[in-house]
Structure 1
Amino acid sequence: MTHAERTIERIRPRQFHEAAGVEDWRVLGEGACAYFRTGSFAAGARLVHEIAQRVGPEDDHRPDIDLRPEGVTVRLITIASDYYGLTERDIELARRISAVARELGVAADPSAVQTVQVAVDALVGPDVVRFWRALLGYRHRADSFEDLIDPHRRGAPVFFQQMDEPRPQRNRLHLDVWVPYDQAEARIAAAIAAGGRLVSDAYAPSHWVVADAEGNEACVGTCGWTGPEPARVTAVDSQGC
């Protein structure tokens, strides 16, 4: 196998987490993410500059970076016409970025990452998807007509769950909150302590369903768990959580 072939090999989130040198990172619904606590905007800008220097103009695989006064969030995901998920080159890039942060003395906080997705129950899926695609200016995610993503990779993705019949007394739209696999139970406990309740843990540790005091539901999901494959897949986990 050539180096080029090796670096574009598709991988599952579990494979990412099992790789050496990626301890700063957690795979969420929208890719592998890391948060670096820089403490200032200037320090964050230096980190971003150094990352940019390590990812040269000849490299067509670049990270998404969010610079804030307190820290920098970096997301890695391979986006192609027929694929939206992780590859071995995401592992290599994660290692390089973590090395830059260490050189600058910037610590990572894996517990500080999360992504949010909007999930919509649809009886007439194609019609509903077409409406939201036009309204949001989104596009279909590669290899899926049930997921819409922001072409600028800024807004939350939208997942459409095909329903055979209405679910009476249950909301048709909810949030999927993707958190690090080692933070999920604490997040659920916090939500329950804040007045929520557990609706279902049938697919744990893939995801749990919780609800607020008025019954509005949300899913807390993970990637890279150890356990059975989930019945429902969305975003990155449709490529192999």
Structure 2
Amino acid sequence: MTDTQQSSAPAPLERIRPHQFHAADGLGDWRVLGEGACAYFPTGSFAAGARLVQAIAELPGVDGGRPDVDLREAGVTVRLITLTAEYYGMTSRDVELARRISAAAREQGLAADPGGVQSVQVTVDALAAPAVVAFWRALLGYDHRAGSPEDLVDPRRRGAAFYFQQMDAPRPQRNRVHVDVWVPYDRAAARIAAALAAGGRLVTDEYAPNHWVLADPEGNEACVGAAGVPTD
């Protein structure tokens, strides 16, 4: 085998946790949310965004990485996550591709806005989880999530993920469906403060800094999540 052939062979995929992603060099543009690493590049125009998307499409390794790209008039959002039959999460391939995408953006004079990303998932508390999951899978046209088949994801990679929490008994005076909002770890405090200022209340910060439980003025709960919070 020649040196060229050796260098073109794909490296084995190393599974990594969100905090490992954030600790890697050259990834300041990116934030890991509930479903993958995301970056937002303000472009100022649809045409400029299209040029960035074209540059991303031409990057080496992009076909294997299958990035999710959302092109809008004001900017481009990119999400990276590795999907296999057994795994749904971050790998070393996502790290390398994230660096290449950031470099492509810099070549076009674009700077990322790490605070411009978030992801939303819906969580359902269920007593008879298998039956509840089956209903939502049929209704949404979703697939089971690799690695946690009790949860559901959009096979088209557009809609919010649905997660299911097993309950041992009904919870009186508490909603059974709630929204999880994943924000960059360095934006969580500001988002929580805004929600409290808008009339919400803090239910618990027991799980901080990974997530907080809030409630609206009528008691409907929601969680703010922050993945991969750096540790000293």
- Tell me by how many angstroms 1:203 deviates: 0.4
Which residue of structure 2 lines up, in the alignment, with residue 174 of structure 1? 178
Judged with a 3 Å threshold, the aligned counterparts in structure 2 of structure 1 residues 7 and 44 are, in CA distance, closer, same or farther, namely farther
C-alpha displacement at 1:145, in angstroms? 2.3
2:207 to 203, 208, 217: 203
SS for the counterpart of 2:205 is strand
Deviation by residue 1:16-75 (Cα, 9 ceiling, x = unmatched): 000000000000001000000000000000000011011467x42221000000000000
- Kindly report which structure 2 residues correspond to 1:42-121, keeping only aligned pairs within 5 A, or say none: 42-55=47-60, 59-121=63-125
Q: Which amino acid aligns with 1:130?
A: A
SS of the residue corresponding to residue 129 of structure 1 reads helix
Contact 2:18–2:227 (CA under 8 A) maintained in structure 1: yes
State the TM-score, normalizing by the size of structure 1: 0.90
Is 1:155 the counterpart of 2:159? The answer is yes
1:129 to 130, 133, 136: 133
**Mean alpha-carbon deviation: is it higher for 137-146 or for 204-213?**
137-146
Paired residues, number = 225
Specify the structure having the higher radius of gyration (Cα).
Answer: 2
Q: Which runs of 4+ in 1 moved over 4 A?
A: 2-7
Matching of residue 37 in structure 1 with residue 42 in structure 2: yes
1:111 positional shift: 0.4
Contact 1:206 1:222 (C-alpha < 8 Å) held by counterparts: yes
| TM-score (norm. length: structure 2) | 0.94
Letter in 2 for 1:127: A
Which residue in the other structure is 1:145 paired with? 149
Q: Please, which runs of 5 or more residues in structure 2 have no aligned partner? A: 1-5
Aligned with 1:82: secondary structure?
coil
Equivalent AA in structure 2 for residue 181 of structure 1:
Y
Provide structure 1 residue ranges, at least 5 long, that are not aligned to the other structure.
228-241
Structure 2 counterpart of 1:13: 18
Name the SS for the 1:202 alignment partner.
Answer: coil
The secondary structure found in structure 2 opposite 1:183 is: helix
The letter of the residue matching 2:35 is E
What are the Cα deviations for residues 203-225 of structure 1, in whole angstroms up to 9, with x where unaligned? 00010000110001100001111
For the aligned residues, what is the CA RMSD? Answer: 1.5
